[in-house]
Structure 1
Amino acid sequence: MRTRMNREDRRTAILDAAIAVIGERGFHGFSIRELALRCAMTDAGLLHHFGSKTDLLLAVLDRRDMQDEHAIAALLPHGAAPRSRAQVLQVLAAIVARNAQHPELVRLYAMLRVEALAADHPAHAYFVTRDRMARRRFAELLNLPGEAPDRLARQVLSAMDGLELQWLQEERGFDLVATWNETAERLIP
């Protein structure tokens, strides 16, 4: 006998399955049919929860952002930005460690970031805005005495993204956190 899920649990199950399939195939490479089959649903049943493939994609990205917000907020007690180099390194290491625990989310973002370079991709504007916001937030985090925080933020984000791509490409064949920590020691004065 099949147990019926409530609406919120069903949406969560669909989003979890969508994270996996979009991370494997990208937005253009998966179909609603394939996702519905993974969720043991009909296409119409799945679309009842999200409306369209694009709405589903945006819901996946929103969910990921909300999870990130909660994780980063937990690293910054009372919303206070770290002020010492050691505190900054600690926060960055925690972000990378969290990503290392969720390779499916790292893969999802890596796949979508590349696809969304095309201006007609449904997530193009999302990634342009998100990247701008991430650089601003990292510049605030990296506002250490004597440093150019905007430039350093771009370098830190590029290093993080690049290491995560290599880590995925090499099937997680190296210690991402240790490699990040070595990189950050050299990158952040």
Structure 2
Amino acid sequence: MGKPYRPKDHYFQKAKQEGLRARSAFKVDEILKRFPGSVKKGAAVLDLGAAPGGFLQILADAVGMNGRVIGVDIAAIRPFSQKWVTTAVLDVLADDFDAKLAALYDGPYDAVISDMAPKTSGIKGTDEARSLRLAGKALEVAATRGRPGATFVAKVFMGGDFEAFRDEVRNHFEEVKIVRPEATRGASMEVYVVGLRRRAPAPAAT
């Protein structure tokens, strides 16, 4: 049995003390520390499922004022004072998502990070499939908009077609790691799939 969910747990209190918008900030902070160089100063980073902005706070510090962080979610995100952080309300599964994302920032990304999760139904197989659909969209963005050498991080619920998704990440990245950050709640099925060093796309056949 996992630990019971305690809304006012250690990480909740720590986030409050440190002025972080969400306890989830500690998850991305741990991932960046475990893989030094995965997000560098001056990098352009996309944060999918960014509300309320906990990941964005960590990423904004990681890239610094010469970097660029784009955060999108279906929920509005309270604006940031840092000028290098841009937020927008976008639905990643909408037909016009790619065009709207390009309008925000049309350059390549050095990292694509997704903390997206579906509204859970309580039906294990359904929730796993919805989670993988969101992670698959994040991987599609990383594969099309990530520069060679880029980093990919996506939250996924374990189970279902998880292995197939991990294999797909391996097709695009030189190294793939599975991370369950310490701040993850005890009963949660979530893990983060980390893709390191995006492979350069194969040249088109002539």
- TM (norm. structure 1) is 0.29
Higher strand share: 2
* Higher relative helix content: 1
Larger radius of gyration: 1
The TM-score normalised by the length of structure 2 is 0.27
Which is bigger in relative contact order (C-alpha 8 A, separation at least 6)? 1
